[in-house]
Chains A and B, each alone.
Chain A
Amino acid sequence: MTLNVSQIRSQFPILQRETANGVPLVYLDSTATSQKPLAVIEAMNDFYRRSNANIHRGVHTLAEEATALYEEARKKIAKFVNAPDARQVIFTRNTTESINLVAYTWARANLKEGDLAILTEMEHHSNLVPWHILQAERGIRLEFIPVKDDFTLDLETYRSLLDQGPKLVSFTHMSNVLGTINPVDEMIRLAHDVGAVTVIDGAQSVPHFSVDVQALDVDFLAFSAHKMCGPTGIGALYGKTSLLEKMPPFLGGGDMIKEVKLRSFRANTIPAKFEAGTPAIAEAVGFGAAADYLLSVGMDAIAIHEHQITEYALDRLEEIPGVKLFGPTADKKGGVAAFSLDGVHPHDVAQILDRDGVAVRAGHHCAQPLHEKFGLPATSRASFYLYNTKGEVDKLVDGIYKVKKYFA
């Protein structure tokens, strides 16, 4: 199962362009957001050209078509993560909003002062700050599974934290900095053994390898369309029906109600209960098209390809004197290579690489506590997806040698 990468590349219009200096784009920033294939762009374009109308409230042809397309998209996303029922997929704006939805509804209804929530030290800010806010508001207790020196989670400490009877365990499937893929199966099982509810931040896993919510038995899974070849402005929260049905609504307004009186309302059933107001309809259509696209390429083939590129990239980066990699060995991680270069700030690395068309990210990648733990203000990060090649890794490496010469 090898990918036909040149064919895949031809399906992404943006990969045909040059950057400011007339050099080809080498896009190594898919962890921040992925590029979009023609299939997604056209699906959204077609929606606006042919079917645009508001959903749910109309009986005319376009309203019915738009509603059907929107609900069709929900089914595609449900299939993509193997949710038993499409009603368990709630459309949100992104991973961040999905996690906040759990924090504002489930957690506010179920957590009280002193209750323990377990997170990890490798979380993106979107799986930290909602819980900080709840901690300030409710006095819940937060504990963190440490990241060990080999950049994996300290499961011994996790087990001892579980003995304290947490109500919630929320963690990332794959770190957007280290690339570490966490043993979610085992972690969820252990959490369920003590009766905790589990939330998985799937922002970096769902786009890159097959994630099956039933096999994982996870309670909530959050992910974003824009990191999986889909548009910005839409994401999803998967939840178990029994939990979703008991949760209070999130935002109030149109669509999320069954009935409104002047002084009261009755909430709609799921998923509408959590989707107040006109949603991102064209984006949902694009999200569905992205899921179809990835399935047609094959998630296992994508994962294998990324693994090969990552292995190659880590080998080549390691050869460069002064480069230090942050993350576990290739067998324990996804397509991310975060690194530092002695004596040169990541911003300067990224800026000089950009001169050769190589797009990498520099900063704390929304994981400040993780950087602090390893004593780094910032790192440079190259990340890989189905359309990247070993030739692009070579350009990255050549670019880093150029940076070194500059600052020599």
Chain B
Amino acid sequence: MDDLYREIIIEHYKNPSYRGHLDPHDIQFADNNPLCGDHIEITLQVSEDGKVSDARFDGHGCAISQASADLLIESIIGKPLDEVKALKKDHILELLGIDLGPVRLKCALLSLKVLKAGVYGLGEASDELVE
């Protein structure tokens, strides 16, 4: 029907592959989007050679925020943490394959902000992390 809700987004929203919580984990972080109450938690396991060996997300929110979290997790498993640290908003936009207005962009970027805050060991998931 239109670009904003490409099949892939609805699919990942309804049937996410990486929803869950890893226990034990090496890295855990969670935050909200105060505008809409979307909530994302990310847990990671990191191997000895500094790669993401497994990852999961949990939370609730709109199709965009939950689908981008699922796509993001899929894209980082097996990647070195250093590469994950360097991810920016372009990465998410590529995964989603759509253009987003400023409000929905915040939904799309929440998972990446949470991921980066966790990987860097920060107290808060701020916008600067993904700009």
Binding site for B on A (CB under 8 A): 343-348, 351-352, 355, 362-364, 368, 371, 377-378, 406-407
By a CB distance below 8 angstroms, the chain A residues around B14 are: 343, 407
B6-56 contacts to A, CB under 8 A, are 10, 14, 35-39
B82-131 contacts to A, CB under 8 A, are 104, 107
Smallest distance from the beta carbon of A95 to chain B beta carbons, Å?
A: 21
Q: Does B60 contact A (CB under 8 A)?
A: yes
Contact across chains for B35 and A345 when beta carbons are under 8 A apart: no
5 A-B pairs closest in CB distance: A347-B62, A345-B62, A377-B37, A348-B63, A378-B37
Q: Which of B14, B37, B38, B66: most chain A CB closer than 10 A?
A: B37
By a CB distance below 8 angstroms, the chain B residues around A377 are: 37-39, 60-61
**Given the complex of chains A and B, what is the CA–CA distance between A371 and B39 in angstroms?**
15
Number of A-B residue pairs, CB cutoff 8 Å, is: 48
Smallest distance from the beta carbon of B7 to chain A beta carbons, Å?
A: 11
Smallest distance from the beta carbon of B32 to chain A beta carbons, Å?
A: 9
Apart from the given pairs A348-B62, A364-B37, A377-B39, 9 other A-B contacts in the complex at a CB distance below 8 Å: A343-B14, A347-B38, A348-B63, A362-B36, A363-B37, A368-B37, A377-B38, A377-B60, A406-B5
By a CB distance below 8 angstroms, the chain A residues around B66 are: 345
By a CB distance below 8 angstroms, the chain B residues around A362 are: 36
Q: Which of B35, B63, B64, B107: most chain A CB closer than 10 A?
A: B63
Smallest distance from the beta carbon of A64 to chain B beta carbons, Å?
A: 45
Contact across chains for B61 and A345 when beta carbons are under 8 A apart: yes
Name 24 A/B residue pairs within 8 A (Cβ), A-sorted.
Answer: A344-B63, A345-B60, A345-B62, A345-B66, A346-B36, A346-B62, A347-B36, A347-B38, A347-B61, A347-B62, A347-B63, A347-B104, A348-B63, A351-B4, A351-B104, A352-B5, A363-B37, A364-B36, A377-B37, A377-B60, A378-B36, A378-B37, A407-B14, A407-B63
Smallest distance from the beta carbon of A355 to chain B beta carbons, Å?
A: 6
Smallest distance from the beta carbon of B68 to chain A beta carbons, Å?
A: 13
By a CB distance below 8 angstroms, the chain B residues around A343 are: 14
Contact across chains for B2 and A345 when beta carbons are under 8 A apart: no
Smallest distance from the beta carbon of A349 to chain B beta carbons, Å?
A: 9
CB closest chain-B residue, reference A406:
B5
Smallest distance from the beta carbon of B94 to chain A beta carbons, Å?
A: 21
**Given the complex of chains A and B, what is the CA–CA distance between A355 and B3 in angstroms?**
11
By a CB distance below 8 angstroms, the chain A residues around B62 are: 345-348, 351
**Given the complex of chains A and B, what is the CA–CA distance between A363 and B36 in angstroms?**
5
B side interface size, CB within 8 A: 19
CB closest chain-A residue, reference B61:
A345
**Given the complex of chains A and B, what is the CA–CA distance between A368 and B5 in angstroms?**
28
CB closest chain-B residue, reference A349:
B62
By a CB distance below 8 angstroms, the chain A residues around B39 are: 377
Smallest distance from the beta carbon of B42 to chain A beta carbons, Å?
A: 18
Smallest distance from the beta carbon of B8 to chain A beta carbons, Å?
A: 14
**Given the complex of chains A and B, what is the CA–CA distance between A352 and B5 in angstroms?**
9
Q: Which of A344, A346, A362, A377: most chain B CB closer than 10 A?
A: A377
Smallest distance from the beta carbon of B74 to chain A beta carbons, Å?
A: 21
Contact across chains for B35 and A363 when beta carbons are under 8 A apart: yes
Contact across chains for B1 and A406 when beta carbons are under 8 A apart: yes
By a CB distance below 8 angstroms, the chain B residues around A368 are: 37
CB closest chain-A residue, reference B63:
A348
Interface string of B63-78 (1 = CB under 8 A from A): 1101000000000000
Smallest distance from the beta carbon of A272 to chain B beta carbons, Å?
A: 37
Smallest distance from the beta carbon of A212 to chain B beta carbons, Å?
A: 37
**Given the complex of chains A and B, what is the CA–CA distance between A377 and B38 in angstroms?**
8
**Given the complex of chains A and B, what is the CA–CA distance between A47 and B1 in angstroms?**
47
**Given the complex of chains A and B, what is the CA–CA distance between A352 and B107 in angstroms?**
15
**Given the complex of chains A and B, what is the CA–CA distance between A377 and B5 in angstroms?**
22
By a CB distance below 8 angstroms, the chain B residues around A371 are: 37
CB closest chain-A residue, reference B2:
A355
Smallest distance from the beta carbon of A354 to chain B beta carbons, Å?
A: 10
Smallest distance from the beta carbon of A208 to chain B beta carbons, Å?
A: 26
**Given the complex of chains A and B, what is the CA–CA distance between A243 and B49 in angstroms?**
71
**Given the complex of chains A and B, what is the CA–CA distance between A348 and B66 in angstroms?**
11
**Given the complex of chains A and B, what is the CA–CA distance between A328 and B4 in angstroms?**
34
Contact across chains for B10 and A407 when beta carbons are under 8 A apart: yes
Smallest distance from the beta carbon of A404 to chain B beta carbons, Å?
A: 12
**Given the complex of chains A and B, what is the CA–CA distance between A355 and B60 in angstroms?**
24
Smallest distance from the beta carbon of A32 to chain B beta carbons, Å?
A: 14
**Given the complex of chains A and B, what is the CA–CA distance between A352 and B10 in angstroms?**
13
Smallest distance from the beta carbon of A395 to chain B beta carbons, Å?
A: 17
By a CB distance below 8 angstroms, the chain A residues around B37 are: 363-364, 368, 371, 377-378
